[in-house]
Amino acid sequence: MRRYARLYWQYFKTRIKVMMEYRIDFLIGVASVFFTQGTSILFIAIVFQHIDTIHGWTFQQMLFIYAIAMLGRSLEHTFFDNLWTLGWQYIRPGNFDRVLIRPVNPLFQVVAERVQQDGIGSFIIGLIVLFTSAPSLGLEWGAAEILMLIVMVISSGAIYMAVNLFFATLSFWMVDSLPVMYAVQQTSDFARYPMNIFGKGIRFVLTFIIPYGFTAFYPAAWFLEDSGYRHTAVWTPVVAFLSVAIAYLFWKRGLRSFTGTGS
């Protein structure tokens, strides 16, 4: 464990050096993610200029759901972004063989080889949105609430990561599963809206199959007194743990059947 921590620190330092080398790129990257998330906030704000509530949900509550989603996503985006490149940067060009011959956990290497600074953009806007919406939820913010918030955000990030890991693993059989990952990730947008505006089918999928519901709406609902979803919200950390475990076991299974592309 200590060895891995030290290794990660080494990887991290090199990444920071690269980042410092390309400062304009850093700014563009952070701004790009910031504005991408910002436009969705602007969208909600414009809609709420014309109405008061959506299916009983207020503007502040909607913002709070967004904030959890953005913070969770920023963790995954910053630290686990390299999973996206497993197919086209590792398996297809034969780089994964290089990873396999080293005496370090292959998944650790793939993850550690990249820190995606762009994620900071969504972290910043997530915090802004959180601080503007949280005070108006009618909740006492004590130590317990803040601790719960941290647990929920980490769980959200873990679920984003686990889903990506699961579908990235398909690359071991199909060389590059990027299109599948992309399509699956699109469904995470559903979770940014209160789940009860969707039909039963969508709700079922996002709760039990691809648990994106637990990346935003459910954890946020824990802080919304009258949401009626607090009993579901409590399961968020458990779902996060199970998702990561299942994804990792699947990864191990994929690793065993990996044969290389011969390139």
Partner 1 sequence: MRKYWEMMKSQIKLDTAYTAWYWAGSASVIFRMLIIYAFWHAVFENRTTVGDMSLQAMITYTMLATLLNNYMSGVGSQLANQVRDGSVAIELMRPYNLLDKLVALDLGSKISGTIRETLPMLLIAYLFLGVSAPASWEAVPMFLLSALLGILIGTQLDLIIGIMAFWLDYVWGLRVLGGAITLFFTGALVPITLFPEWLRVLSGFMPFQSMVFVPVSIYTGQLSGLVALQALGVQLAWLVGIIVVMRTVWSFAIRKVTIFGG
Nearer to partner 1, 149 or 192 (CB): 192
Q: Would you tell me the crossing angle of helices 143-169 and 236-256 to the nearest 10 degrees?
A: 20
Residues in contact with partner 1, counted by CB under 8 A, come to a total of 36
Nearer to partner 1, 149 or 188 (CB): 188
Segment 44 to 63, residues that bind partner 1, using CB under 8 A: 46-47, 49-51, 54-55
33 lies in the site for partner 1, by CB under 8 A: yes
208 lies in the site for partner 1, by CB under 8 A: no
16 lies in the site for partner 1, by CB under 8 A: no
Residue 120 neighbours by CB under 8 Å, 6+ apart = 30, 33, 74, 78
Residue the block writes with tokens 């993610």:
33
Nearer to partner 1, 31 or 147 (CB): 31
Residue 72 neighbours by CB under 8 Å, 6+ apart = 153, 154, 155, 156, 157, 159, 160, 215, 216, 219
Among 190, 217, 222, 223, binds partner 1 (CB under 8 A): 190
Segment 145 to 174, residues that bind partner 1, using CB under 8 A: none
Least distance (Å) from partner 1 to the CB of residue 116?
A: 11
Stretch that binds partner 1, among 6-14, 103-111, 196-204, 253-261 (CB under 8 A): 196-204
Nearer to partner 1, 25 or 226 (CB): 25
Among 5, 103, 186, 256, binds partner 1 (CB under 8 A): 186
Segment 106 to 135, residues that bind partner 1, using CB under 8 A: 118
Least distance (Å) from partner 1 to the CB of residue 65?
A: 13
183 lies in the site for partner 1, by CB under 8 A: yes
Nearer to partner 1, 55 or 231 (CB): 55
For residue 141, what are its two tokens?
């913010």
225 lies in the site for partner 1, by CB under 8 A: no
223 lies in the site for partner 1, by CB under 8 A: no
What is the C-alpha separation between 5 and 9, in angstroms, rounded? 6
State the residues that interact with partner 1 by CB under 8 A.
22, 24-25, 28-29, 31-33, 35-36, 38-39, 42-43, 46-47, 49-51, 54-55, 118, 179-180, 182-183, 186-187, 189-190, 193-194, 197-199, 202
